[in-house]
Each structure stands twice: as structure tokens, then as C-alpha cells.
Structure 1
């Protein structure tokens, strides 16, 4: 067997620190977990808040608002699924603290029902999907949703669905959102006043017989 070179002897011998043992060498899973942790830390520190501040600053520009909500939707799945495990808190708190709920509702009011953008489907889809993702079982979030939605949220959501009910993605996100809201008993009267039941029957008749696995009709 060949003798070890002096450099190797120095690393494994007394002249230098020993090489890492096999069990201490980072695996691909370790590297992936570390990368995930770093991304969650970045998002927690300034990601969601910065995006929300951008939406506030560019609220009059529809493409900027669309891009911002699309970005939130893209990072949201990872952020919300990993953040709770890493930090033992619900990362959605950061979005609520950045007025994200109000921004999404404002986008529903400003763009889908605005004369110039009333036919814009993406703005409604992104805003509804974002609101849908934020309706968690956390008591703090339920309280916020109850406070905001009871005054203006449910009417805006119902109007957005009614305007774009023929768009399957919007109908799915919108009705799933209303279904979650309806679990709070205080919302029954608000939902009834906004003719949500009639809207649901209309959607049922519209999609009845369509071969769509997502609708389960």
C-alpha cells in the first residue's frame, strides 16, 4: 500500500485537525434543510413585508399589483408550509401585520370592479387565492377576518365571483373562501344578505355536467 503524502498525514495526524468523520459530513438533505431555513429567514425578515409595501406604493398600477400578488402566491406555499415547522409560529402573522389582508380586499375593490379593469381576471384570481390561503384556524386570524370581512369583505368576494363565475379558477377559490368564512357563525347573516346561496346555485347550474375533476360536481 502506498504511503500517505505528507499533506494527508498532516490532516489526519497530529499536525492538523482531523478530517470530518462520515457521520458529520453534510448530506444533500442537510444542505436542502439549511437552504430552506435561510429562505424562510429571509422571507420572515423582509420578504412579505417588503412585497406588501411595494403593493401599497404601486396600488394604482394594475400590472405591479398583479405581479406582487403573483409573487406572494409563488412563495406562499413554501413560506406557510415550512415557516410554521421552523419557527413554531404561523408565518401568516407577518402578512397580517403588513396589512396584507386589507391590500387583497382593496385589490378586489379597485380592479375587478373598476371600469377600466372590470374584465381583468388575474387580479381577482390572485387576490381570492391569497385570501383563501390566509383563512387559517388561528383564533387571531379568525378575529381579523371577522372584523374586516363582515363589513366589506364578503360583498367584495361575492361580487368578484359573480363577475367572473365562468372562470373555473376564480369560482373554485372564491367558493372555497366563502365556505371557510361560513364556518364562523357571525357571518351567516352577512352571507345571506349578499345572495351567496343564489350565486352558488348559479355556479352549480353553469358547471353542471362539465367534466372537471376539480369541481367534483
Structure 2
């Protein structure tokens, strides 16, 4: 049994702790929420979680593709889309659309210039999402395109597919398929050890780890 003399202190800790969680819940400091809409976001768990996801997607877009226009674009969305909402029924779909837009936002052509050669090598799935268990890119005659093979459970899955990188769009064309059926994904980042892409109809990026050059 909890001693009675501890109860006031525990109650105070719970209140303070609850305020701290609330303050961190959204993508902004809820202690500074001034408008009715901001208070609605802070008080509703769905809107609060979406606002936090939006903040993360915005930071990621800025790091992935530095663009002076991103801040202006985001401010316009806040004023013209989010701030005209009055309830969560309006907020939720608006947030989800904007999060998807930020995840799939194309970099300027220069943003992915020179990354094609970093793709060369074999990559293994390292996240809960991802269409391929293992995929290997080989160079072609053009520095921005070549061949790819995939494996499933260490056995060949697709062989002699074609890949092409245009701006930050990575296109994968399976053998024997017409060009129009190419799988299109956004190249988020690629370095010596990690490949990150956003695949079609996904809101979370797929991550791959290099297994051999």
C-alpha cells in the first residue's frame, strides 16, 4: 500500500508529467499554443500525432533537398490549407496529403546529380518496408542507367531488369515489360553503406544496407 504522505507528491508528478507529454505531443510547443486551432491540435491525439509527423517530414525534405522555396511553400500550406480548418475532420486528411507530398517531393535535378554511380553494388532490405529483399545495380553505357537483379530468400527473383535515374526519380523496369510499366520511386539518399528510397504508395521510406560493392 502506498503511504498516504506520498500521495500529494505523486499526484503532482503525474500532473507535471502529463503537461510535459502534452507539450511535446505536437510538432510545436503546445505550451505556446495561442490560437483555437493550435489548441485543438494539442488536445486531440490524432491531430497531434499528424502534426508531429508533418514536422518530421518537413525537416527531412529540407535536409534531403535544400531548397529556398520549401519554407515559402510550407508557410503557404499552413495559411491556405491548415489554418482554414476548424476541426479534426478537416485537419486529418489535409495533414496526410501534405505529409505524402513532402515525402515524395522531388529534389531539383542538381539534388541527385552524381548519385547514380553510388547505386552500383548489392543492397539488402533493412526496414519493415521495401519491395525487394535484395537488389543489385550494375553500371551501363550511360552513367545514369544500367541493369539490376533481385533475390528473394537468396534465390534469383528478377534478372536483367533495367534501371534509370532521372533527377531524383529511380525507375525500375522488369524484363519484358513496356517502359510505361516502370516502377518509379524517389531516391532519398545513397552513400557508401545505406540506400533510402520512397516507393510508390508508401508514406515511410524503404531502407537498404549495402552488402557488397
TM-score for both structures, normalised by structure 2: 0.29
Say which structure is richer in strand.
Answer: 2
Bigger CA radius of gyration: 1
